[in-house]
Copies of this chain bind each other. A is one copy, B any other.
């Protein structure tokens, strides 16, 4: 396989991942969505090879014969971006015949939602650059990665409304407005403050810290924490989280 046909970002030709021990025609691509300054971004790597100069790609690459799919996703993500310690979930497998030039490559996409500022980025050997890019203003992407991201966004926005995964992006203690800003960023909409408050509070998923915000130049808001126990209990009795 020629070096210029590499799925995801560049393949890392290190000793542990030679062309001999990877599954041909099958790759991984990771969609790591990160919330940064109330803006939804995605982790992308800049290509180095001349064919895709200046284009960006999802961090991904080949799967080894002796590793499980999710393990491959974690390894590739760390190799290319330095990002680790997050939970990747399988998104979908993309395999259009013409999605990749000259060869047939099927890619399995994984995704995660994290707080962007909690990770420090380290561009891997084969990446020219790594960065968070706003999902509303994506750069030019290789192959069908734009299509994959579009699908990922759709799934993410659906999931975020039906599972309380948004709470992971906030500090342990947070205000209702912080929570609302988070949902506004992910869903790319404006929400009504009193109505959002009412909806959330009625779920009985937040427990009050009996503390106030500190150092704000206006009335301090009450702090709450997400009650994982309560959620577990409620969802076992048929409660459906919904924003």
Contacts and interface: CB of A to CB of B under 8 A. Distances in A.
Contacts of A193: none
A23 B69 contact: no
A68 B96 contact: yes
Given A90-B93, A92-B90, A93-B93, A23 B106 contact: yes
Contact of A26 (B25, B66, B92): B25
Interface of A: 23-26, 63, 65-69, 90, 92-93, 95-97, 104, 106, 108
Contacts of A108: 93, 95, 106
A38 B15 CA distance: 57
21 contacts: A23-B26, A23-B104, A23-B106, A24-B24, A25-B25, A25-B26, A26-B26, A26-B106, A63-B95, A66-B104, A67-B97, A68-B95, A68-B96, A68-B97, A69-B93, A69-B95, A69-B106, A90-B92, A90-B93, A93-B108, A106-B108
A214 to B, nearest CB: 40
Q: How many copies does the complex hold?
A: 2
Residue in A25, A93, A96 whose Cβ sees the most chain B Cβ within 10 Å: A93
Given A90-B92, A92-B90, A66 B24 contact: no
Contacts of A26: 23, 25-26, 106
A66 to B, nearest CB: 6
Contacts of A93: 69, 90, 93, 108
Nearest to A94: B69
Given A90-B92, A92-B90, A97 B25 contact: no
Contact of A66 (B66, B90, B97, B106): B97
